[in-house]
Amino acid sequence: MNRETQSVKVDEAYQVISRDYDAHRDRSPYFRIIEGLTHRCFYENTEGKSFARGLDAGCGTGRNLPHYLKKCDHVAGFDYTPEMLQFAKEKFQNEKRVRLMLGDVCHLPFPDQTFDLIGSFKVLPHVPKVLEGIREIERVARPGAIIFLEFYSPYSFRYLLNRMKHYTKWHSLRESKRLIARAGLKVRKVYGLRTFMATEYLTYLPGAYQLFNFLENRFTHSGLNRFSGYYVIVCEKQGS
Ligand SMILES: C[S@@+](CC[C@H](N)C(=O)[O-])C[C@H]1O[C@@H](n2cnc3c(N)ncnc32)[C@H](O)[C@@H]1O
């Protein structure tokens, strides 16, 4: 694995974050909404389909792996931070259909055209040479593959209030689409997430979970997208 394409700070940061990553997400109404939106997007775009090989690019602690397992015969996952990956390995140690490894999205150890379903959720904003990462994903995707790529927007409450700026890159929707086009992928759909939830703390107020869950789900495809904190862009590798 070539660690030179990544700033040292990202794995240092995620080494610390890994200790509370799952516990924080499991108890937070904010993350229940965010992950619910991510899963809605995943299932809406894979409905009625099954896949031979899935790839979770930057799988972290493996929170999304159960969803790939529902859709794919075999699932590979990799992550740059050993401490994050360790949690995923422990969770899936008895699952023979899952293969997990340490890795960098800019240098994937897979042959061309291996996967027919790929997701990279909340990873690319941490990759300094993001175009290299998207090109690698495109390389290992089979023609016709469905690919989910997530970006962080600078035109959002989230950008204004965020404390992770030192190891995060921010791309407007237009920049994200340009990167995807340069990597040779076609955009199918855009989901805007975290458009209304200015901070996580707000979601703990009485009634706030229901309100934000409604608003966020209602406006994923609206023009307000340009102010969303996150974009999940559903792409396709053309050909068949
Ligand atoms: C916010 S977490 C997301 C994890 C998982 N995708 C999820 O949705 O829970 C970001 C992850 O990206 C990983 N990451 C950062 N740079 C990476 C790279 N160049 N290649 C692979 N993973 C990377 C980090 O180690 C971290 O586990």
pLDDT above 70 as % of the chain: 91
Name the β-bridge partners of 233: 149, 190
Nearest ligand 1 atom to the CA of 105 is: 20
- C-alpha of residue 164 to centroid of ligand 1, in Å: 14
pLDDT number for residue 199: 87
State yes or no: pLDDT of 72 exceeds 90: yes
Q: Which residues contact 87 (CB under 8 A, 6 or more apart)?
A: 18, 21, 22, 60, 61, 62
φ, ψ dihedrals at 232, nearest 5°: -100, 120
Tens of pLDDT, residues 133-142: 999 999 999 9
Contact (Cβ atoms closer than 8 angstroms) between residue 54 and residue 75: yes
Q: How confident is the model over 58-65, as a mean pLDDT?
A: 98
Contact (Cβ atoms closer than 8 angstroms) between residue 149 and residue 120: yes
pLDDT number for residue 167: 65
Tens of pLDDT, residues 184-224: 999 999 999 998 998 899 999 999 999 999 999 999 998 88
Model confidence band, residue 6 (pLDDT cutoffs 50, 70, 90): very low
State yes or no: pLDDT of 161 exceeds 90: no
Residue 42 Cβ < 6 Å to ligand 1: no
- C-alpha of residue 202 to centroid of ligand 1, in Å: 26
Find, among 128, 183, 122, the residue nearest to 153 by Cα: 122
- C-alpha of residue 5 to centroid of ligand 1, in Å: 14
pLDDT number for residue 151: 94
Residue 81 Cβ < 6 Å to ligand 1: yes
Tens of pLDDT, residues 16-30: 999 999 999 999 999
Residue 60 Cβ < 6 Å to ligand 1: yes
pLDDT number for residue 157: 66
User: Could you write out the DSSP letters of every residue in 180-197?
Assistant: HHHTT-EEEEEEEESSS-
Extents of the domains making up the chain: 10-237
Tens of pLDDT, residues 140-156: 999 999 999 999 988 76
pLDDT number for residue 4: 44
**Does domain 10-237 match CATH 3.40.50.2300?**
no
Average pLDDT, the chain: 92
State yes or no: pLDDT of 8 exceeds 80: no
- C-alpha of residue 149 to centroid of ligand 1, in Å: 12
Find, among 105, 98, 99, 111, the residue nearest to 141 by Cα: 111
Rg, the chain, Cα only? 17
Q: How confident is the model over 68-75, as a mean pLDDT?
A: 98
State yes or no: pLDDT of 2 exceeds 50: no
- C-alpha of residue 87 to centroid of ligand 1, in Å: 13
